[in-house]
């Protein structure tokens, strides 16, 4: 009777294990990984991952695989991973050394783990992605440990989707905890709603949505949870993209129109912890194009940051086209004038919409610390900026064909003349539509905005109204104190034809010449010149009334004079 009972129990256990092989997402997770074992701290010089069974079910790992973007391993051998237990997975050559720390299984073609910026996934025999870890070296949260010898450990294995917030460097003195509970193990529940970061149309009927974390794949694949504006409505289909599950591919019933901006709205989609998408649930989208000449222009540059600051270049889309920044590059020129140090603005598709600003930098967090940034999302991060010297240099924007869309050859002498220390002060474009290389189209950012306006309209922005047939000076009162309010006057001109030559002279109230602003300057049909309120030797002038005397003539003998009164005011 006892023998029969034991046989029945064994058959039941075998049936239990056999029926337990269909795993759901996160039943088994990648719990720890050694991506950079050198220099050694205390563990063997091997790469490996540790798996943890977070379920209440026994899983046999026969046929499971580990992989990354470069491919996947061979199948795992038969091994029963019990509930709340661990197993180390590595190459055969590392097995002996790793077995000293806990249960170890080997696979062929174990993926080479990048020190930073890799995506590791765990795939079941049913070809289902069970868990993915998309890590970078920032996850260590420790400058010393990210240089090697320490593992990355998951903090809360019941919160497998949270990425950066749920991982950190091991605090075990050996450098890691293979085969046992993590040294950083703690409760770290996810209470944050997923956010829709951006959207991109691959063609007129396909849109990709990018979220900031993995999603519940079933809710994310429900078409009723998406709506596109301007009559497009719900999509025909929605597919959650593996292995990260932080992207959704939509197929539309109606094609998008060119040069039109649409809005995608997401509802009822949640992350794998059940948090539903909330306020950050919309994104603009449209059919993108490659930038051509002056579609996007250089709008602001900080080339001489503070000692603890960083360079930035702001671009502005002055067209009605949607520009893909994946197809856009920033560069400079070498000492011989050759275009050099070309950097792609984005490795992924990222859209710059009409009349939008975008700031290019190595570290947005520094700019957010040092300046008012009204649009926290208007940044693209490049691993290294082209070199921009503190005194002079070239900023170049290129399109995917290598054609120059805009170029600025700047000089620190363009700064407001009364600024002694130019460190940390950005140079701003005055008019989007005026020529980029024109010195009079640039001015130091105002004191009132903290000497820079990354991500929003420049403090020194002025537009040429171009009054027909007249010389117009604006404003009528100028206060050159670099506070962003009327720091300079603009002499706007419009002529019926090209070929006019202009002389502009500034007189004080006593009739004395204080500045020869322009001498025999050739004019276009429409344009402007600028007076910064300084004298001929860039000296500060006294407050009072001044006359801007403009003489215009052409080769046909036509001549005209204009007198405009302006008040120069000072606070002290």
Would you say 493 and 518 are in contact if contact means Cβ atoms under 8 Å apart? Answer: no
269 and 240, same structural domain?
yes
**Domain boundary residue among 286, 307, 339?**
286
Would you say 365 and 371 are in contact if contact means Cβ atoms under 8 Å apart? Answer: no
For the stretch 49-102, pLDDT in tens is 999 999 999 999 999 999 998 899 999 999 999 999 999 999 999 999 999 999
More confidently predicted of 344 and 448: 344
Confidence band (pLDDT; 50, 70, 90) for 46?
very high
- Give me the residues paired with residue 28 across strands: 53
For the stretch 4-13, pLDDT in tens is 444 444 444 4
502 and 421, same structural domain?
no
> Which of 40, 29, 68 is closest to 182 using CA atoms?
29
Q: What pLDDT does 15 receive? A: 41
211 and 125, same structural domain?
no
Q: What's the gap between Cα 504 and its chain centre?
A: 45
Q: What pLDDT does 3 receive? A: 46
Structural domain contains residue 180: no
Q: What pLDDT does 467 receive? A: 39
**Domain boundary residue among 449, 482, 508?**
449
Q: What pLDDT does 510 receive? A: 84
The label of the residue with tokens 């050859």 reads 409
Q: Is 274 exposed, middle or buried (0-12, 13-18, 19+ CB in 10 A)?
A: exposed
Would you say 137 and 164 are in contact if contact means Cβ atoms under 8 Å apart? Answer: no
Cis check for the bond before 37: say yes or no (omega within 30 of 0): no
> Which of 373, 326, 366 is closest to 198 using CA atoms?
326
Tokens matching residue 165: 């917030």
Of 78-87, 109-118, 200-209, 417-426, the least confident: 417-426
Q: What pLDDT does 558 receive? A: 76
Indicate whether 226 pLDDT > 60. Answer: yes
Strand boundaries in 403-488, DSSP class E: 404-411, 427-429, 442-444, 471-474, 477-478
Structural domain contains residue 175: no
d(CA 394, CA 246): 38
HSE value, Cβ hemisphere, 13 Å, CA-based, for 562:
19
- Please enumerate in sequence order all residues whose Cβ is within 8 A of that of 394, keeping only pairs 6 or more positions apart, or say none: 332, 333, 407, 408, 409, 410
162 and 49, same structural domain?
yes
Structural domain contains residue 186: no
What angle (nearest 5°) sits at the alpha carbon of residue 356, between those of residues 352 and 361? Answer: 70
Most confident of 109-123, 493-507, 523-537, 542-556: 109-123
d(CA 25, CA 17): 18
Indicate whether 506 pLDDT > 70. Answer: yes
Confidence band (pLDDT; 50, 70, 90) for 233?
very high
Strand boundaries in 295-419, DSSP class E: 296-302, 312-317, 322-324, 328-333, 339-344, 351-352, 357-361, 379-381, 392-399, 404-411
Indicate whether 208 pLDDT > 50. Answer: yes
Q: What pLDDT does 521 receive? A: 86
Structural domain contains residue 11: no
Residues 105-126: what's their mean pLDDT? 96
More confidently predicted of 43 and 293: 43
Residues 241-254: what's their mean pLDDT? 93
Structural domain contains residue 487: yes
> Which of 236, 282, 237, 230 is closest to 256 using CA atoms?
230
69 backbone φψ class: left, alpha, beta (φ>0; ψ -120 to 50)? alpha
* Residue 327 DSSP class: G
314 and 271, same structural domain?
no
Looking at every residue in the chain, the average pLDDT score rounds to 91
Tokens matching residue 194: 């997923």
d(CA 349, CA 380): 11
Would you say 140 and 169 are in contact if contact means Cβ atoms under 8 Å apart? Answer: yes
- In the chain, the number of structural domains is 4
* Residue 197 DSSP class: E
- Please enumerate in sequence order all residues whose Cβ is within 8 A of that of 438, keeping only pairs 6 or more positions apart, or say none: none
Beta-sheet pairing, 442-444 with 526-531:
unpaired
Spell out a b/e string for 192-201, using b for 16 or more CB atoms within 10 Å of the CB, else e: ebbbbbbbbb
- Please enumerate in sequence order all residues whose Cβ is within 8 A of that of 558, keeping only pairs 6 or more positions apart, or say none: none
For the stretch 111-120, pLDDT in tens is 999 999 999 9
200 and 66, same structural domain?
no
Of 96-100, 322-326, 441-445, 559-563, the least confident: 559-563
Structural domain contains residue 174: no
More confidently predicted of 565 and 418: 565
538 and 562, same structural domain?
yes
d(CA 220, CA 239): 7
**Domain boundary residue among 254, 286, 318?**
286
Which ranges in 275-396 belong to alpha helices (H)? 364-370
525 and 486, same structural domain?
yes
Most confident of 167-171, 429-433, 531-535: 167-171
Cis check for the bond before 510: say yes or no (omega within 30 of 0): no
CATH number at residue 518: 2.60.40.4070
Indicate whether 14 pLDDT > 60. Answer: no
Q: What's the gap between Cα 230 and its chain centre?
A: 28
Confidence band (pLDDT; 50, 70, 90) for 572?
low
Of 64-78, 387-401, 468-482, the least confident: 468-482
Tokens matching residue 290: 């490659």
Residues 100-109: what's their mean pLDDT? 97
Structural domain contains residue 460: no
Q: What is the pTM of this model?
A: 0.73
Tokens matching residue 167: 């991982």
357 and 421, same structural domain?
yes
Residues 287-295: what's their mean pLDDT? 90
484 and 437, same structural domain?
no
Q: Is 490 exposed, middle or buried (0-12, 13-18, 19+ CB in 10 A)?
A: buried
Q: What pLDDT does 463 receive? A: 64
Which ranges in 249-384 belong to alpha helices (H)? 364-370
* Residue 294 DSSP class: T
CATH number at residue 144: 2.60.40.1260
CATH number at residue 255: 2.60.40.1220
Q: What pLDDT does 16 receive? A: 43
Tokens matching residue 563: 């007198």
282 and 305, same structural domain?
no
> Helix or strand or coil: residue 510?
coil
Q: What pLDDT does 271 receive? A: 93
Indicate whether 499 pLDDT > 90. Answer: no
Structural domain contains residue 508: yes
Instruction: Name the percent of the chain lying above pLDDT 90.
Output: 78
561 and 493, same structural domain?
yes
Q: Domain residues for 121?
A: 16-169
Indicate whether 17 pLDDT > 70. Answer: no
């Amino acid at each position: 009777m006892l023998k029969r009972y034991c046989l029945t129990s064994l058959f039941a256990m075998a049936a239990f294990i056999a029926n337990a092989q269909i795993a759901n997402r996160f039943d088994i997770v990648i719990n720890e990984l050694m991506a950079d074992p050198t220099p050694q701290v205390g563990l063997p010089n091997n790469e490996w991952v540790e798996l943890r069974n977070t379920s209440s079910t026994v899983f046999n790992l026969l046929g499971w695989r580990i992989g990354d973007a470069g491919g996947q391993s061979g199948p795992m051998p038969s091994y029963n991973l019990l509930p709340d237990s661990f197993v180390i997975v590595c190459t055969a050559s590392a097995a002996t050394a790793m077995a000293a720390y806990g249960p170890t299984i080997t696979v062929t073609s174990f993926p080479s783990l990048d020190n930073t910026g890799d995506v590791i996934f765990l795939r079941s025999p049913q070809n289902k992605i069970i868990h993915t870890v998309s890590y970078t070296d920032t996850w260590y949260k420790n400058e010393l440990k990210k240089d090697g010898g320490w593992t990355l450990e998951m903090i809360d294995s019941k919160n497998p989707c949270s990425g950066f917030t749920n991982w950190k460097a091991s605090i075990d003195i050996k450098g890691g905890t293979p085969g046992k509970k993590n040294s950083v193990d703690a409760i770290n529940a996810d209470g944050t709603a997923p956010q829709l970061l951006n959207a991109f149309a691959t063609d007129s009927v396909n849109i990709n949505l990018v979220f900031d974390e993995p999603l519940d794949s079933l809710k994310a694949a429900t078409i009723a949870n998406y709506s596109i504006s301007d009559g497009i409505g719900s999509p025909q289909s929605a597919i959650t993209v593996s292995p990260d599950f932080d992207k959704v591919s939509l197929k539309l019933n109606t094609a998008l129109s060119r040069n039109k901006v649409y809005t995608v709205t997401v509802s009822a989609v949640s992350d794998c912890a059940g948090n539903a998408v909330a306020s950050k649930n919309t994104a603009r989208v449209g059919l993108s194009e490659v930038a051509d000449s002056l579609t996007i222009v250089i709008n602001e540059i900080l080339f001489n940051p503070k000692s603890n600051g960083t360079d930035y270049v702001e671009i502005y889309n002055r067209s009605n086209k949607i520009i893909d920044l994946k197809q856009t590059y920033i560069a400079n020129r070498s000492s011989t004038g050759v275009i050099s140090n070309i950097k792609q603005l984005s490795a992924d598709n990222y859209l710059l919409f009409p009349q939008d600003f975008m700031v290019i930098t190595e570290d947005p967090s520094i700019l957010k610390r040092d300046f008012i940034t009204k649009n926290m999302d208007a940044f693209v991060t490049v691993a290294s900026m082209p070199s921009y010297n503190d005194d002079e240099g070239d900023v170049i924007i290129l399109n995917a064909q290598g054609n120059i869309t805009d170029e600025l050859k700047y000089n620190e002498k363009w700064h407001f003349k009364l600024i002694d220390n130019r460190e940390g002060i950005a140079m701003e474009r005055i008019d989007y539509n005026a020529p980029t290389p024109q010195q009079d189209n640039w001015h130091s950012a105002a004191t009132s905005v903290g000497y820079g306006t990354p991500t929003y309209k420049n403090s020194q922005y002025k537009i040429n109204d171009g009054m027909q047939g007249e010389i117009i000076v604006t404003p009528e009162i100028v206060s050159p104190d670099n506070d962003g309010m009327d720091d300079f006057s603009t002499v706007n001109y419009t002529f019926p034809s090209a070929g006019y030559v202009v002389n502009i002279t500034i007189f004080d109230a006593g009739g004395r010449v204080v500045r020869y602003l322009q001498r025999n300057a050739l004019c276009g049909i429409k344009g402007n010149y600028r007076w910064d309120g300084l004298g001929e030797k860039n000296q500060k002038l006294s407050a009072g009334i001044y006359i801007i005397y403009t003489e215009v003539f052409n080769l046909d003998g036509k001549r005209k004079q204009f007198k405009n009164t302006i008040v120069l005011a000072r606070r002290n």
